[in-house]
Structures are given as structure tokens and as C-alpha cells.
Amino acid sequence: MATIMMAIMIGLLLLGFPMMVPLIAGAVVGFVMMFDGFGQMGTFVQQMMGGIRPASLIAVPMFILAADIMTRGQSADRLINMVMAFIGHVKGGLAISTAASCTLFGAVSGSTQATVVAVGSPLRPKLLKAGYSDSFSLALIINASDIAFLIPPSIGFIIYGVISGTSIAELFIAGIGPGLLILAMFSIYCLIYAYVNNVPTEERVGWRDRGVAVREALWPLFFPVIIVGGIYGGIFSPTEAAAVCVLYAFLLEFAIFRSLKLPDIYRIAKSTGLITAVVFILVAVGNGFSWIISFAQIPQAILESVGVNEAGPVGVLIAICIAFFVACMFVDPIVVILVLTPIFAPAIQATGLDPVLVGVLIVLQVAIGSATPPFGCDIFTAIAIFKRPYWEVIRGTPPFVFMLVAAAGLIIAFPQIALFLRDVAFRD
């Protein structure tokens, strides 16, 4: 049954159908084979509806809406200007500023694709003017945006938390350490690249102008304070934090900065609605698909056939990293989380792995795969935004992918990179 389901899904994908169609077709075929017809199809529909019933999922459209408001407003530009004011003058400073800006905007939006647009659009021309090659600039923007998937708020963590039953608040804070580790690795590489290629430095900004830049960026900087401080201060839940972020983004861009007008609300709401609809359809279908493969005990059969159950904790983590990394090179990240997480759940439980650590590694691999050829979604976002050919966009990615994979290895070897802040925040 599993072979037939996978063959149908792969065939429909190759024919160019949207991801939701192969997922629905594979699940329906599996259901019919398992129950000998369509008589119990209502059960499958109930499972699909159950997938979008958790209240935690309300945070997804809210964070998408907040990110859309800020992307169209001035928040991203103000954050970029502040980072540039402090480190733009050092060797490789402009490239380091790009990585740091992606991290900061990730702490505001939680979306890799929104980060590519918001940070990449203003900084790519500056990188090219400063002497960085286009392939390096594009690769830096695409891969640095992956940090947004780890720094709270992260839509990937929300989806994983709902599917696995893991605390979203714990996942959020566990992503901070790995995100900062990757920022440090990227910054070192940018420094080395600038020295090797003799990239000139930017003009140093005076302290008066730095003060102006900080003052202008102060309002956007309150986003991570609201999210992290509010959640871990016990003021509100992650879902309530998302609602507060929408209100704050609205007040910031419409009332304080006045960068947006009331007619913009329709375009922003329409964009958010379309993205949310796609996400929720994928979540619903993914939940139905996961229920079918779990009911048929396909995960247990797959793991047993490849020997994962006997691999031990480290072996299971490596297997998870490889599976999610490869899958996200071809398939939408949300779908990969929905489909593969239940498959590895028995092995995770059997080896006693911390689900928060597993979640960090899964979301990291999803982020890496999203920026890796052949079909990483961030690659096609960059192609659409920057109007560059496919091969030019992916040419500079190997060093960054290597660093991201190395970061995953460090997290497996030293789990406290992810778990230290979680343990401090949630210590009994």
C-alpha cells in the first residue's frame, strides 16, 4: 500500500500538480485500500478537520499577517539601517549586516520567504555595489533567511508543535541558540570572503548617526521583546503573542510610521488570506495522510526495514536530519513536517529523545532544504524577486549549506546549544 501511495504522489508531482493534490490523492487511495471502498470516508474527513482544530494554529495566520504588514512598511528598513550603522564599516561588514538583518527580521516575522523579500530587496544592490559577486549575495540572502525559521516566532515550530504535541513556547526559546550559532558561522565566512576577495569596507558612521538609527529602529525592536518576554514572562501564550504582534504591527506602520494607508489593508488581508488558505489545506490533508499511515503502521514498517529502531539516539537524530533535509529539497517544508514527523515518532519515543531537541533539528533541516537545490522554495522566491536565472541563484549556496549542516552536527554533539535556554526558562 505504501508503495502505491508514494508512486501516485510522485507521479502527480512530476505532472506539475500543486502539493495538496498529490497528498490528497495518496491519502484517499490509501484509505480506499485499507477500508475496501469509500464507505468510511467520513472518518477521513473528520481526521482532516481535526488537523486544523488546535487553537495553536491560530498563531499561523496572525504571524503571517504581522509579517506582511511589516514587509510592506518601514520596519525592515529601519532594522537594516541600525545594523549597518554599527557593523557596516568592518571588513565584510555589509555582508555581516545582511545576515544580522535577516536574523533580526526573522525575530519579527518568523517567515523565511518574507525575510528574503524584506531584507534582500534593499541590501542586494548595496552588496553588488560594494564588490560582492551576485552569486555570493543571492546565496547569503537565501541562506541567512533560514535563521528566521529558528528565531521565534517560527511558523515551522508552530506546525511541529501541533503535530507532535510539543510545547510551542519551549520550541521557540530552544531555537534562539542555534539561530545565533548560525549567524556567527555566517559572519565568520563573510569576513573571510571579504578578505580573500579584497572587498572594500563601508564608511564608518558617527555615534550621532548611530544614535539616530537606534532611535528609529527602537519601535521594531520591541517585536522580539513582546514575543519572547511576553511568553516567558507568563503574560500571554504564543497564540496570544501572535495577536499582540498583529496589533503592534498595525499601530506601528499605520499610526506611528504612517508608511501604510487604509486602502493597503485590503491587499495585505487578501495576501494573508491566500497564504493561510494554502497552509491550512496542507495541514488538514497532512493530518489525514498521517492518520492513514499511522493506522496502517507504515512508519513502524519503514523504520524497521532500514534499521532505525536499533540505531540508538544519535543514529535516530542523524536519520531524521537526512530524511528531512532531502525531502525539503523537493517538497514544501510544511508538508514534510506533517508527513515525516509521525513516521519518526515511534523511534523518537523508543529512544527517549527530547522532543524539543528533535523539533529544533527538524526545523533546521527544513530550513536548509528550503534553500537547497533543486526545488527549495526560497530559491524560487529569490528568482521571482530578483529576476535572476536559476543557476546563478544556486551557484553560491554550497558553502552556506555546508555551514548549516555543520551546525546541525554541532547541535547533535552538544544538545545544550538548543536546550540550555529552554532549561533555564522552564526550570522547575
Q: Quick one: CA dihedral 111, 339, 410, 177, positive or negative?
A: positive
**Is 16 a member of any domain?**
no
Tell me the DSSP string of 170-187: HHHHHTHHHHHHHHHHHH
Residue-number span of the structural domain to which 295 is assigned: 52-426
**Is 153 a member of any domain?**
yes
124: three-class secondary structure by DSSP: helix
Domains in the chain: how many in total? 1
Tell me the DSSP string of 76-107: HHHHHHHHHHHHTTSTTHHHHHHHHHHHHHHH
Cα angle 63-231-255, degrees, rounded to a multiple of 5: 50
- Tens-of-pLDDT digits for all 428 residues of the chain? 667 877 887 788 677 677 678 878 888 888 888 877 777 788 888 888 888 888 888 888 888 888 888 878 888 888 888 988 898 888 888 899 999 888 888 777 777 777 887 788 888 888 888 889 999 999 999 899 888 888 888 888 998 998 898 999 899 999 999 999 999 999 999 999 999 998 887 788 888 999 999 999 899 888 888 887 887 777 888 888 888 989 999 999 999 998 898 889 899 999 888 888 888 887 888 788 777 877 777 666 766 666 666 778 898 999 899 888 888 777 778 878 888 888 888 888 888 999 999 999 999 998 888 788 776 777 877 887 788 888 888 888 899 999 999 999 999 999 999 999 999 887 65
HSE value, Cβ hemisphere, 13 Å, CA-based, for 362: 35
Whole-model pTM? 0.82
**Is 27 a member of any domain?**
no
Amino acid symbol at 280: F
**Is 80 a member of any domain?**
yes
**Is 382 a member of any domain?**
yes
**Is 74 a member of any domain?**
yes
